[in-house]
Amino acid sequence: MKLTEEDIRPKQLASGQKIAALTDLGRMLTRSSEFVEVDCPACGQHDPQPCYVKNGMSYVSCPHCRTLYVNPRPPPAVLDWFYRESPNYAYWNKYIFPASEPARREHIFVPRVDRLLDICARYEVQTDALLEVGAGFGTFCAELNSRDVFQRVVGVEPTPDLANTCRSRGVEIIESPIEHVRTEAVGQFDVVASFEVIEHLFKPVEFIAHMVRLIRPGGVLMLTCPNGQGFDIETLGPLSTTVDHEHLNYFNPASMAGLLKRHGMELIESFTPGKLDAELVRNKVLEGAFSLEEQPFLKKVLIDEWEHHGAAFQDFLVARGMSSNLWVVARKPAT
Ligand SMILES: [Zn+2]
């Protein structure tokens, strides 16, 4: 079965989710006077170039590493409050995740586990213990447990409801923010993985440091996040659904590599396996929200001759590292 946008965002739930998301955005903006100026979350330089404003949030680009980021941005106290009381997350938890869990499992979590295990096999990573930071509903950890490769699979999940859901699925959970994970866990994990978390954080550099300390020497870090230089984000700009008030950081393959190297990690692989870029841009055109009238080449590929070129065009984006979904794999040097 081919993955479509609707599989992971069911249309019948779209209006309820839209209301919840707009409510959330409104909550975020009531605190905008508290937003603070930050340095580039990837390279640390302070040279923000304005790109666009979307829904009251300012997006800037770093001329040194091309990272796109929100600046000024909500500080940690505002983010804690925002996520703790979010009606949007409550709606996702109650309706969208349950309704789309089978499709998400098949199209997101099973391929994610396959990919992670393939990487572990290719780089001969030990498989004693894996830690997932931001375990959510525990779908990834449960799927990985079912493969019986890692002796121990642990999730870090600070949200009590989600941590309970994980436990009910038999997943071992550390119910704590990553920065409070006990020192006994330091250097214990062959793999530390985090999927779609870092783009939400006020200070990604600290998040990376906390994850790196939990990896044993010779172990690996695997991270996924949006690629700010991916096709749909660069083409649609503020019209991209990925560009929203929750996503503060849009790294790219090079800027993420630089960030990891500064933490003493050796980048071993970086790729963009996204499947939806071309369809996301096409859908915006079909909805009338975005025009390709002045871009005849893209109009031919994405609209007029879509059946002929669409899949091959997406394959090209993946092969060239230009999809909007980024994976990075880095190794902690053996001491
Ligand atoms: Zn930068």
pLDDT digits (tens, 9 = 90+) for 77-100: 999 999 888 888 888 888 888 888
pLDDT at residue 181 greater than cutoff 90: no
Cα–ligand 1 centroid distance for 51 (angstroms): 14
Cα–ligand 1 centroid distance for 44 (angstroms): 6
Higher local confidence (pLDDT), 3 or 233:
233
Cis check: omega of the bond before 72, within 30 degrees of 0: yes
Which pLDDT tens digit goes with each residue over 253-274?
Answer: 999 999 999 999 999 999 999 9
Q: What Cα–Cα distance (Å) separates residue 182 from each residue in 171, 177, 210?
A: 18, 10, 11
In the chain, % of residues over pLDDT 90: 80
- CA 179 to chain CA centroid, Å, is 19
Cα–ligand 1 centroid distance for 62 (angstroms): 5
Mean pLDDT of the region 19-37: 94
Which pLDDT tens digit goes with each residue over 122-156?
Answer: 999 999 999 999 999 999 999 999 999 999 999 99
Tell me the C-alpha distance between 247 and 24, whole Å: 13
* Residues 248 and 88: beta-carbon distance below 8 Å: no
Confidence class of residue 5 from pLDDT cuts 50, 70 and 90? low
CB atoms within 10 A of CB 258: 18
Cα–ligand 1 centroid distance for 146 (angstroms): 40
pLDDT at 65: 98
Angle at 206 between CA 161 and CA 218, to 5 degrees: 95
Cα–ligand 1 centroid distance for 170 (angstroms): 41
Which pLDDT tens digit goes with each residue over 162-180?
Answer: 899 899 999 999 998 888 8
Least confident interval from 73-77, 83-87, 191-195: 83-87
Cα–ligand 1 centroid distance for 15 (angstroms): 37
Cα–ligand 1 centroid distance for 314 (angstroms): 28
Tell me the C-alpha distance between 221 and 198, whole Å: 13
- 299, 300, 306, 308 alpha-carbon torsion, rounded to 10°: -160
pLDDT at 43: 97
Task: Classify domain 5-331 at the CATH superfamily level.
Answer: Vaccinia Virus protein VP39 (3.40.50.150)
In whole numbers, what is the pLDDT of the chain averaged over residues? 93
Cα–ligand 1 centroid distance for 48 (angstroms): 9
The full set of domain ranges for the chain reads 5-331
Tell me the C-alpha distance between 334 and 171, whole Å: 29
Cα–ligand 1 centroid distance for 282 (angstroms): 30
Mean pLDDT of the region 45-54: 97
Cα–ligand 1 centroid distance for 47 (angstroms): 8
Tell me the C-alpha distance between 221 and 328, whole Å: 8
* Residues 231 and 322: beta-carbon distance below 8 Å: yes
Tell me the C-alpha distance between 47 and 41, whole Å: 12
Identify each DSSP E strand in the chain by its residue range. 49-54, 57-61, 68-70, 129-133, 152-156, 172-174, 189-195, 215-226, 249-250, 266-271, 325-331
What sign for the dihedral angle of Cα 7, 10, 11, 15?
negative
